[in-house]
Chains A and B, each alone.
Chain A
Amino acid sequence: SQTIHQWPATLVQPVGSPLSLECTVEGTSNPNLYWYRQAAGRGLQLLFYSIGIDQISSEVPQNLSASRPQDRQFILSSKKLLLSDSGFYLCAWTLGQGPYEQYFGPGTRLTVT
């Protein structure tokens, strides 16, 4: 069966510090991968999605970036965090293109102080 992992679960970082969040999927190949952010009192915002290694699309302009160094690994990064980057970051995957179900990881709670 497929499993999706995220780490760390919780992170507190000062403004201006770098960020690296990791997401790994097990039990499937060539998944579509997604990064979402859920800010307090707001809905889910799609940040990045990837249909393959080195194939990443950005949905909103921000100081975040994403990379996919391996087929089942998706990383969210920042060189300098802003206060507004605080939120709950969720990774998700789905099988390729088509009417497939989307599955979410447990999330990372990021607080920028």
Chain B
Amino acid sequence: KQEVTQIPAALSVPEGENLVLNCSFTDSAIYNLQWFRQDPGKGLTSLLLIQSSQREQTSGRLNASLDKSSGRSTLYIAASQPGDSATYLCAVKFWNAGNMLTFGGGTRLMVKP
């Protein structure tokens, strides 16, 4: 069974700290991996999409890396701010799963002022 796991489930850091969120997946045959942000009571906002042929993607203070062979992706957030507080979800599109995403359980991040 293809699974996506995110550890830790929750993280609390002081403002200004650089942090890394982890995502692991059980099958290296993937189309791509997508990182989302979800604020309480809101929909998911796409942050970064990494194709299987790519090693990393960057957007502002965010950097996502992909290592297919080890089944891992990391989301690096530089100089964290209280506004970064949200739940971060990792989702993988596996080759044999049609056009569907498999989601991790998410990491709930709190950045304290």
Task: Kindly list chain B residues whose C-beta atoms are within 8 Å of the C-beta of A102.
Answer: 34, 46, 91, 101
How many interface contacts (CB-CB < 8 Å) are there between A and B?
A: 50
Verify if B52 is at the interface (C-beta below 8 Å from A).
Answer: yes
Q: Are A104 and B49 in contact, with the CB atoms below 8 A?
A: no
How far in angstroms is the closest Cβ of chain B from A35?
Answer: 12
Task: Type the 1/0 row for A31-54, where 1 means its CB is closer than 8 Å to any CB of B.
Answer: 010100000000110100101000
Q: Are B31 and A99 in contact, with the CB atoms below 8 A?
A: yes
Q: Quick one: which of B32, B49, B99, B104 contacts A49, CB cutoff 8 A? A: B99
Verify if B68 is at the interface (C-beta below 8 Å from A).
Answer: no
**For residues 51 through 94 of chain A, which have their beta carbon under 8 Å from a beta carbon of chain B?**
51, 88, 90, 92, 94
Whole-angstrom distance between the alpha carbons of A21 and B28 in the complex?
36
Whole-angstrom distance between the alpha carbons of A68 and B105 in the complex?
29
Q: Are B43 and A105 in contact, with the CB atoms below 8 A?
A: yes
Nearest residue (CB) in B for A43 is B105
Q: Are A98 and B44 in contact, with the CB atoms below 8 A?
A: no
Task: Kindly list chain B residues whose C-beta atoms are within 8 Å of the C-beta of A99.
Answer: 31-32, 51-52, 93
Residue of B31, B32, B43 ringed by the most chain A CB atoms within 10 A: B43
Task: Kindly list chain A residues whose C-beta atoms are within 8 Å of the C-beta of B91.
Answer: 102
**For residues 32 through 69 of chain B, which have their beta carbon under 8 Å from a beta carbon of chain A?**
32, 34, 36, 41-46, 49, 51-52
Name 7 interchain pairs, CB-CB below 8 A, sorted by A. Answer: A49-B100, A90-B44, A92-B44, A98-B31, A103-B46, A104-B45, A107-B42
Residues of A within 8 A of B (CB): 6, 32, 34, 43-44, 46, 49, 51, 88, 90, 92, 94, 96-99, 101-107, 109
Residues of B within 8 A of A (CB): 31-32, 34, 36, 41-46, 49, 51-52, 89, 91, 93, 98-101, 103-106
